[in-house]
Amino acid sequence: MLNDQLVISNVAGPFREPREPVFSYDYSIQRATWAATHAVRVKIALAEELDYVKTKLLGTVTGSPGQQLMLNKLLSRKIGDQKLRIAEEEGWLKERADVLVPPFTGPLAHHFPQLESWVQAHAESLRSEITQTIGLAV
Protein backbone atom coordinates (compact mmCIF):
# COMPACT_ATOMS: atom_id res chain seq x y z
CA MET A 1 0.00 0.00 0.00
CA LEU A 2 1.34 3.41 -0.95
CA ASN A 3 1.83 6.08 1.67
CA ASP A 4 -0.74 8.80 0.96
CA GLN A 5 0.82 11.29 3.37
CA LEU A 6 0.88 14.93 2.29
CA VAL A 7 4.38 16.31 1.65
CA ILE A 8 5.14 20.02 1.33
CA SER A 9 7.88 20.40 -1.27
CA ASN A 10 8.09 24.22 -1.36
CA VAL A 11 6.63 27.34 0.23
CA ALA A 12 6.79 30.87 -1.18
CA GLY A 13 5.64 34.06 0.50
CA PRO A 14 4.37 36.00 2.23
CA PHE A 15 2.71 37.94 -0.55
CA ARG A 16 0.46 40.93 -0.02
CA GLU A 17 -2.72 40.34 -1.97
CA PRO A 18 -3.94 43.34 -3.97
CA ARG A 19 -7.30 44.76 -2.88
CA GLU A 20 -7.48 42.38 0.08
CA PRO A 21 -6.18 42.89 3.65
CA VAL A 22 -4.41 39.51 3.64
CA PHE A 23 -1.01 37.88 3.32
CA SER A 24 -0.79 34.70 1.28
CA TYR A 25 1.61 31.79 0.97
CA ASP A 26 1.90 29.43 -1.96
CA TYR A 27 2.56 25.81 -1.01
CA SER A 28 3.58 23.05 -3.41
CA ILE A 29 2.16 19.79 -2.10
CA GLN A 30 2.65 16.21 -3.22
CA ARG A 31 1.35 12.75 -2.38
CA ALA A 32 3.02 9.50 -3.41
CA THR A 33 -0.06 8.66 -5.48
CA TRP A 34 0.08 11.90 -7.48
CA ALA A 35 2.12 12.28 -10.66
CA ALA A 36 2.94 15.95 -10.01
CA THR A 37 2.87 18.58 -7.28
CA HIS A 38 -0.15 20.80 -6.83
CA ALA A 39 -0.48 24.33 -5.57
CA VAL A 40 -2.27 25.51 -2.46
CA ARG A 41 -2.62 29.21 -1.74
CA VAL A 42 -3.28 29.94 1.93
CA LYS A 43 -4.59 33.40 2.81
CA ILE A 44 -4.15 34.93 6.26
CA ALA A 45 -6.44 37.82 7.19
CA LEU A 46 -4.35 40.60 8.71
CA ALA A 47 -6.80 41.83 11.34
CA GLU A 48 -8.87 38.73 12.07
CA GLU A 49 -6.07 36.14 12.09
CA LEU A 50 -2.56 37.65 12.24
CA ASP A 51 -3.31 40.54 14.61
CA TYR A 52 -5.50 38.27 16.74
CA VAL A 53 -2.69 35.72 17.16
CA LYS A 54 -0.14 38.48 17.89
CA THR A 55 -2.39 39.95 20.58
CA LYS A 56 -3.14 36.53 22.11
CA LEU A 57 0.56 35.67 22.29
CA LEU A 58 2.17 39.00 23.10
CA GLY A 59 -0.45 41.56 24.09
CA THR A 60 0.61 44.99 22.90
CA VAL A 61 3.72 44.45 20.82
CA THR A 62 6.59 46.90 20.83
CA GLY A 63 9.82 46.72 18.91
CA SER A 64 11.61 48.22 15.98
CA PRO A 65 10.01 48.28 12.52
CA GLY A 66 12.37 45.47 11.51
CA GLN A 67 11.30 43.36 14.47
CA GLN A 68 7.64 44.00 13.62
CA LEU A 69 8.28 42.88 10.04
CA MET A 70 10.07 39.72 11.20
CA LEU A 71 7.29 39.01 13.71
CA ASN A 72 4.59 39.34 11.04
CA LYS A 73 6.54 37.06 8.70
CA LEU A 74 7.15 34.41 11.38
CA LEU A 75 3.59 34.37 12.71
CA SER A 76 1.90 34.55 9.31
CA ARG A 77 3.94 31.54 8.15
CA LYS A 78 3.07 29.60 11.33
CA ILE A 79 -0.62 30.46 10.81
CA GLY A 80 -0.39 29.44 7.14
CA ASP A 81 1.20 26.12 8.06
CA GLN A 82 -1.52 25.44 10.61
CA LYS A 83 -4.29 26.40 8.20
CA LEU A 84 -2.81 23.96 5.69
CA ARG A 85 -2.94 21.22 8.38
CA ILE A 86 -6.57 22.11 9.11
CA ALA A 87 -7.39 21.99 5.38
CA GLU A 88 -5.76 18.55 5.22
CA GLU A 89 -7.79 17.33 8.23
CA GLU A 90 -10.98 18.67 6.62
CA GLY A 91 -10.25 16.76 3.41
CA TRP A 92 -9.80 19.82 1.19
CA LEU A 93 -6.48 18.52 -0.17
CA LYS A 94 -7.42 14.96 -1.09
CA GLU A 95 -8.03 15.66 -4.78
CA ARG A 96 -5.34 16.39 -7.32
CA ALA A 97 -6.26 20.00 -7.91
CA ASP A 98 -5.04 23.45 -7.00
CA VAL A 99 -6.75 24.72 -3.85
CA LEU A 100 -7.33 28.08 -2.16
CA VAL A 101 -7.59 28.15 1.64
CA PRO A 102 -9.24 31.51 2.36
CA PRO A 103 -9.23 33.38 5.67
CA PHE A 104 -11.24 31.70 8.41
CA THR A 105 -13.72 34.57 8.50
CA GLY A 106 -17.26 35.01 7.19
CA PRO A 107 -18.58 31.70 5.82
CA LEU A 108 -15.49 29.83 7.09
CA ALA A 109 -15.49 31.35 10.58
CA HIS A 110 -16.51 27.96 12.01
CA HIS A 111 -12.91 26.82 11.35
CA PHE A 112 -11.41 29.67 13.40
CA PRO A 113 -11.75 27.83 16.76
CA GLN A 114 -9.36 25.16 15.39
CA LEU A 115 -6.79 27.89 14.75
CA GLU A 116 -7.47 29.45 18.15
CA SER A 117 -6.99 26.15 19.99
CA TRP A 118 -3.68 25.65 18.16
CA VAL A 119 -2.50 29.09 19.38
CA GLN A 120 -3.45 28.21 22.96
CA ALA A 121 -1.78 24.79 22.80
CA HIS A 122 1.47 26.13 21.33
CA ALA A 123 1.63 29.56 22.98
CA GLU A 124 4.76 28.88 25.03
CA SER A 125 6.75 27.40 22.14
CA LEU A 126 5.67 30.26 19.86
CA ARG A 127 6.70 32.86 22.44
CA SER A 128 10.04 31.12 22.91
CA GLU A 129 10.67 31.09 19.16
CA ILE A 130 9.75 34.79 18.92
CA THR A 131 12.21 35.62 21.72
CA GLN A 132 15.03 33.56 20.18
CA THR A 133 14.48 34.49 16.54
CA ILE A 134 13.41 38.11 16.73
CA GLY A 135 14.74 39.25 20.07
CA LEU A 136 11.44 40.56 21.39
CA ALA A 137 11.07 40.10 25.12
CA VAL A 138 7.71 38.49 25.78
**pLDDT at residue 2 is higher than 70:** no
- Give Rg (Cα) of the chain: 16
Q: Which long-range contacts (CB under 8 A, 24 or more apart) does 72-75 make?
A: 72/14, 72/23, 73/14, 74/129, 74/130, 74/133, 74/134, 75/50, 75/126, 75/130
In the chain, domain spans: 7-134
**Beta strand pairing status for 22-30 and 38-45?**
antiparallel
Residue 138: per-residue pLDDT: 66
Residue 110: per-residue pLDDT: 96
Question: How many whole angstroms separate alpha carbon 42 and alpha carbon 27?
Answer: 8
Using pLDDT thresholds of 50, 70 and 90, give the confidence band for residue 98: confident
63 or 26: which leads in pLDDT = 26
108-127: pLDDT as tens digits: 999 999 999 999 999 999 99
**pLDDT at residue 18 is higher than 80:** yes
